[in-house]
Structure 1
Amino acid sequence: MKNFLVTGGVGFIGSNFILKARKEQWANIINLDKLTYASNPNTLEALDRDPGYHFVHGDIGNLELVRSLLEQHQPDAIINFAAESHVDRSIVSPQDFIQTNIFGTFQLLEASKTYYEKLPSPRQAQFRFLHISTDEVYGSLSKTDPAFREDTPYAPNSPYAASKAGSDHLVRAYHHTYGLPTLTTNCSNNYGPRQFPEKLIPLIVLNALNGKPLPIYGDGQNIRDWLYVEDHCEAIYLVLQQSQVGETYNVGGNNEVTNIEVVKQICAILDRLAPKPDFNYASLITFVKDRPGHDRRYAIDCRKIYQDLGWQPQESFESGLLKTIQWYLSNSTWVEQVQSGAYQTWIEKNYGNRNDTQDPIQGVNP
């Protein structure tokens, strides 16, 4: 069985990928994770006795650590999920995003290049470095603009998007300059089980269940394409196994939905699954001041990955959203573990002063 070094594997997408990789026996996994605020080590507790899984607490920016892991475990592929990923936090603390997403990726590439150059030719032919990125590097679309393609020019609008764009460019450069066999995927908004509740869907689900306001930026008409995380994991593995070196693929869910419609659908599902007498969850919807530079629309054209590799998403937004909400309802212990004091402080800081007349933390509706 192959060995994969997965970075950021305790995070949302990374943990879902690792669990699926071990369940499907795709590979043995070495998981390097910094364990930042968004990480819950218990997410992967099912693998505690799995001999094919090995966890290492560390930073991709630690060049010597990464080099030693590569020498020790001799991976056949590196899959880089490690990233600071929340736009709101990048507005407040952009330096963290530059440090991890750009400098960290640079150090990981440096270590990978040295490791790759020492491999015998047959193993070089099989080795891959897969970088997981985002559609946000392409900027913002109007309602009538065509969806992002792989050749859409980069135009990032937030510190997060700019840091991911920088890392994408580094990955491309290491392929073209040094011959490192890289691959890049740019995905749309992921959702599903085990997502830290600073992101829209888990935030709304958990606020609703706790009777707290459901904060919606601006007019709620910002549009995102939603990709169920297991569909994304399947795409990642397919790209790793079958695509040509140097390729870039957009991965989307074919589900463009406005933020307000996402929230309304969550409320409707909760009204069915967790009803309260004489109450509907939509009554908690609260419009708050928009965040700076909020991109209006993202849309992914993923025809290339379908034409080249035969991949397409299996979950509709409705089916994936139902599975997601059911998971949060059934995993209250996990939820309690991630909703620490630090998390509550962040929610207060980010949403508490969005509107002079509305306080979504205390429950005042418009």
Structure 2
Amino acid sequence: MLAIKKGRVIEIISQRFGLTEVKVKLKNDQIREAINYDELTGKVELNDEVILNTTAVELSLGTGGYDFILYILNSEPRNLTGSGHIMKLRYSPYQIKCLSVEEEMSKHREAIKSFTSLDEYPVIIGSLHSMLAPVSMVLDKLSTRQLRVAYVMTDAAALPIRLSNAVAQLKQDGLITSTITVGHAFGGDLEAVNIYSGLIAAKEVVEADVIIVAMGPGIVGTGTEYGFTGLEQGEIINAVRVLGGTPIAIPRISFSDQRQRHYGISHHSLTAIGKVALKEAVIGLPKLSESKQDRLEDQIKEYNLTNKHDIRYICGEGMLDIINEYDIKVSTMGRNEKDDPEFFMTVGISGLLALEILGT
């Protein structure tokens, strides 16, 4: 059930393409911060009366403290415009029409149909959205030429790509060339029905040198072995191999997270790459102090990862220096590269591996 409240917009906090942040005054005079997705509900303006979905905030869930505008009461009726017949958020009150790359009316359809292979292209597969920015920085910094980088956003977390501040800044700064939203995720430069056609579009339409795949902001976890959305990482490894690419899986590593199940290699990564992945991935791990190294090696041995994947140990200290050079804030679970260095070293190493595969 949705928690719904009515209020009036009293301040426009910020605007960027497709997303507006506002302050809303409720009937009880409480002030709330809310997000409006312009593609769904239209342009919101000062003094508009709006209906808010307040469910996540009332449950104290991780949406950044925002409510979401469901409807602008005084907005003008809108008619469908543009082409496309693929619906995302299907059969929900907010199903949205998209032009998918696979559709007959898409100018990219023939390129998708003529696909044969990813030709061993490197595909970096993250398990958290927080991995996107640091790996993009490493690719940008260490490449000997300007790379075309495609970001494929899955539907395992946030569905609107507009929510991501990181994507907006990475595109503005030229670290990401193009975005593709797959499944029920929407709002990318290109839309695709699933991960397979999303990867194909990255190669055939974007002509990307490197593809990065990761969910949008947020993740669902339950503390159980299989009950988390990051499990998709194993399935994406399989998909990349099916299409003839080279998957580079980023394990979630931390020695700052006090939860035992996330200490060292997170149980999320161990399940995804150790059990769900049926194909080989390239996995880079940082060289660490003896006690931390022992923890990683014990986990790798327990899950028999060396017989399943191409495990490579690489010095990762330089990755942190690269991240510090950019005016882009990075964080995971509220921790930056100084608070959780092993996490960000591991992420950066995946970019280094991709460049090695490219030979650039």
TM range (shorter): 0.3 to 0.5
Q: Indicate the structure with greater helix content.
A: 1
Using structure 1 for the length normalisation, give the TM-score.
0.37
Structure with larger RCO (C-alpha < 8 A, sep 6+): 1
